[in-house]
A = this chain, B = another copy of it.
Amino acid sequence: MDNREGNNDIESMEGLGREVERNGSGFEDEKEAGMRQPLLLRKRTMNTTSQIAIVGANVCSIESLDYEIVENDLFKQDWRSRKKVQIFQYIVLKWTLALLIGLGTGLVGFFNNLAVENIAGFKLLLTSDLMLEHRFFAAFLAYSGCNLVLAAAAAAICAYIAPAAAGSGIPEVKAYLNGIDAHSILAPSTLFVKIFGSVLGVSAGFVLGKEGPMVHTGACIANLLGQGGSRKYHLTWTWLRYFKNDRDRRDLITCGAAAGVAAAFRAPVGGVLFALEEAASWWRSALLWRTFFTTAVVAVVLRALIEYCRSGKCGLFGEGGLIMFDLSSTITTYSTPDLVAILVLGVIGGVFGGLYNYLLDRILRTYSIINEKGAPFKILLTITISLLTSCCSYGLPWLARCIPCPADLQDQCPTIGRSGNFKNFQCPPGHYNDLASLFLNTNDDAIRNLFSGNTDNEFHMSTLFVFFTAIYFLGLVTYGVAVPSGLFVPVILAGASYGRIIGTLLGPISDLDTGLFALLGAASFLGGTMRMTVSVCVILLELTNDLLMLPLVMLVLLVSKTVADGFNLGVYDQIVKMKGLPYMEAHAEPYMRHLVAGDVVSGPLITFSGVEKVGNIVHALRLTGHNGFPVIDEPPFSDAPELCGLVLRSHLLVLLKGKRFTKERVRTGVTELLQRFGAFDFAKPGSGKGLKFEDLDIQEEEMDMYVDLHPITNTSPYTVVETMSLAKAAVLFRQLGLRHLCVVPKTPGRPPIVGILTRHDFVPEHILGLFPHFNPHK
């Protein structure tokens, strides 16, 4: 189905590299390559279809991240060189924004919890009431009907309002922080759907979690706040216009992602580590500090609201403090046989995790074909999966035998009401159905049941086995539907069940509680799928409050990650790759070692003179999609042609829109420019809000006039010599977060610039060309 060459190893990637060279496809932008070189063997195509699983539509690289430095005289008018009052204002604003992100994400996290508890709680109570009256079919209808309605609502808002809100969102946030601004991925509509879709989806009893969506929600909130609100929805704060650059915006979104994890797991340190380990591509120590503040705010907000609800003011939402699954009362002593058990768990987690990722990949590819057909098909698919889930949850417990309630028990048995370990289901009084306790519960409660200590005999082996199998496959088939869906919860559920199985098997030789084995199983499966280490470890620590398990959790994660890394990529990396997002890795690709920078650029390049004819600029902007153009100073402005710098498309559009043209070819300078433009006119607009080429309105007679590009030229672009190893150029490009890297000639007597390297030159082509059948041009 797809182009299998993408999965080849280093040797073939070297081959690919040479192919790049041979094709001379080092154009600035893929559009130009496609336009000028129709004979290109494998076209540099971008996936522009819109579907659920594969959202890589209208991918747009974020503007040069080469921010930090005030680049030319014009930008010196920026706030950075303004008065101290304004710098102070900026710092206060920065922290205020972090506070607001924390507050917002904390509130959303709480709302999510509250809504899910009340909706799902109502559904479960209704079902169990009907069960108590032995109206089993009515109970099934009520249960699956509720699920269906909730699922359809979630799918509908997702499919019609914001298709980008489907799925986890973590891969997209990760890609954004790497410099890839996928279409409307952080838009207000996405935020709306993500919040409500997640509530509906989790309430609908799907095997999915709220963690990925919470991360995405946090990022969306950060984006909304950082852009100074949304003009479209008439929400604007003009005092937020200081944050019109990519660095500040990326910092805010990193804070938002961390806040999302903190809100989902009530794990503030885990959130910071997640942002560091999984989300961010560029990290500064100042960011650690700010992220930490945001997650602390989230923790305080959550704690205060939970405290407020403790006395029953929030309906069915009740118990549970900041620690979601408290295990600290369980006694933790472990010995050598336990270490062997942990190795076994780690290996199993690695194998299951690798398989999970492989199967998820297959399923997402299949789903994307269905989802591509349109919104009704998306809803249909969601409804099908909802019915399947309902059948499993309600049908499978009939297979389990009724177990008499244990005698010495403090809890109620059978459970009355919504949650609890001992669901009565079809059983006679004084008995409980252990499979129903897992299935007919919210996912959080099921995890709590599996983690609960001193319950060695509560769940039968067969029960755990059935539950594991069902959850493993339901988790797989659920992820691709048009509903915001996190992967953590299914993975923790499946991992905890096989952890309990191993724990029960090893019961005779191990002192460790089966509840702790469930925790270790969850850790192993998380390590096998997500491939995160420190952050998963700290998240689990903060979830369970059991510090003594930390060394064991660390070891099991190490083993499972190592084993799974032998099979395939982590699940998020895999989704990023599958969606065709041109993610740039931190290291250079092996084939780049055998090339030099000059190998992958090829002329003729479009350059401008320092003072250029308006018509030439308009022509170049119309014909190409380039985002950066080299500016060459020529006589009479310099002795010999020399590279003056780089000018950005967005700045050119603003300049042309301002219409400060001259009849003669003269330098007008900065002061002239400043009479027409304010400092913020050239600041980066929010995504999708900048000037477009169509907004220009240049008259015919203006086409022959001149405009001075010097004031808007970045006169210090980063450059490499054409004989520089491509791998080293890639390291430079990635480390500094560039978007354009000028390649200059080694020997004199040639034009002062050989070409420009852009992000696409450094992302192996097989990623972009992985889905030829998704290319609408084909």
Contact = CB atoms under 8 A, between A and B. Distances in A.
Interface in A533-558: 533-534, 537-538, 541-542, 545, 547-548, 550-551, 554-555, 558
Nearest to A321: B548
A551 B299 CA distance: 6
Contacts of A295: 554
A453 to B, nearest CB: 16
Contacts of A534: 269, 272, 288, 292
Which of A289, A321, A749 has the largest count of B CB atoms less than 10 A from its CB?
A289
A439 interface: no
A735 interface: yes
Contacts of A660: none
A512 to B, nearest CB: 14
A586 B550 contact: no
Interface in A635-652: 638-640, 642-643
A535 to B, nearest CB: 9
Contact of A69 (B71, B293, B538, B593): B593
A426 interface: no
A522 B247 CA distance: 34
A322 B548 contact: yes
A642 B747 contact: yes
Nearest to A729: B716
Interface stretch (A138-146, A277-285, A386-394): A277-285
Nearest to A720: B719
A136 interface: no
Nearest to A298: B551
A288 B274 CA distance: 12
Given A70-B593, A735-B736, A533 B587 contact: no
Interface string A308-329: 0000000000000111000010
Contacts of A723: 715-716
A640 B747 contact: yes
B284 A586 contact: yes
Contacts of A541: 269, 547
A405 interface: no
Contacts of A296: 551, 554-555, 558
B69 A588 contact: yes
A561 B289 CA distance: 10
Contact of A548 (B68, B323, B746): B323
Interface string A580-604: 0000001110000100100000000
Interface string A261-279: 0000000110011001100
A384 interface: no
Contacts of A548: 321-323, 545
A718 interface: yes
A742 to B, nearest CB: 9
A684 interface: no
A39 to B, nearest CB: 32
Contact of A547 (B285, B542, B727, B735): B542
Contacts of A284: 586
Given A292-B554, A534-B272, A723-B716, A732 B731 contact: no
A285 B276 CA distance: 9
B550 A547 contact: no
Contacts of A241: none
Interface in A492-521: none
A461 interface: no
Contacts of A70: 593
A728 interface: yes
A721 interface: yes
A69 B292 contact: no
A300 interface: yes
A533 B639 contact: no
A736 B586 CA distance: 12
Contacts of A300: 551, 555
Which of A285, A735, A744 has the largest count of B CB atoms less than 10 A from its CB?
A285
Contacts of A401: none
Contacts of A273: 273
A748 interface: yes
Interface in A69-91: 69-71
A42 interface: no
Contacts of A725: 69, 71, 716
B68 A538 contact: no
Contacts of A293: 554, 558
A303 interface: yes
A724 interface: yes
A322 B549 CA distance: 10
Contacts of A551: 268, 296, 299-300, 303, 322
A662 to B, nearest CB: 26
A756 to B, nearest CB: 15
A197 to B, nearest CB: 29
Given A284-B586, A586-B285, A748-B640, A269 B550 contact: yes
Nearest to A299: B551
Contact of A724 (B276, B716, B747): B716
Interface in A238-269: 268-269
Contacts of A746: 642-643
Nearest to A555: B296
A727 B295 CA distance: 33
A298 to B, nearest CB: 9
Nearest to A269: B538
Given A538-B269, A640-B747, A68 B587 contact: yes
A495 to B, nearest CB: 19
24 contacts: A68-B588, A68-B727, A69-B588, A69-B593, A69-B731, A269-B534, A269-B537, A269-B538, A288-B533, A292-B537, A293-B558, A296-B554, A321-B548, A322-B551, A323-B547, A328-B328, A541-B547, A640-B747, A716-B724, A716-B728, A718-B728, A721-B744, A731-B736, A748-B749
> Which 5 pairs show the lowest CB-CB distances between chains A and B?
A748-B748, A296-B554, A299-B551, A716-B725, A735-B735
Interface of A: 66, 68-71, 268-269, 272-273, 276-277, 283-285, 288-289, 292-293, 295-296, 299-300, 303, 321-323, 328, 533-534, 537-538, 541-542, 545, 547-548, 550-551, 554-555, 558, 561, 586-588, 593, 596, 638-640, 642-643, 715-716, 718-721, 723-725, 727-728, 731-732, 735-736, 744, 746-749
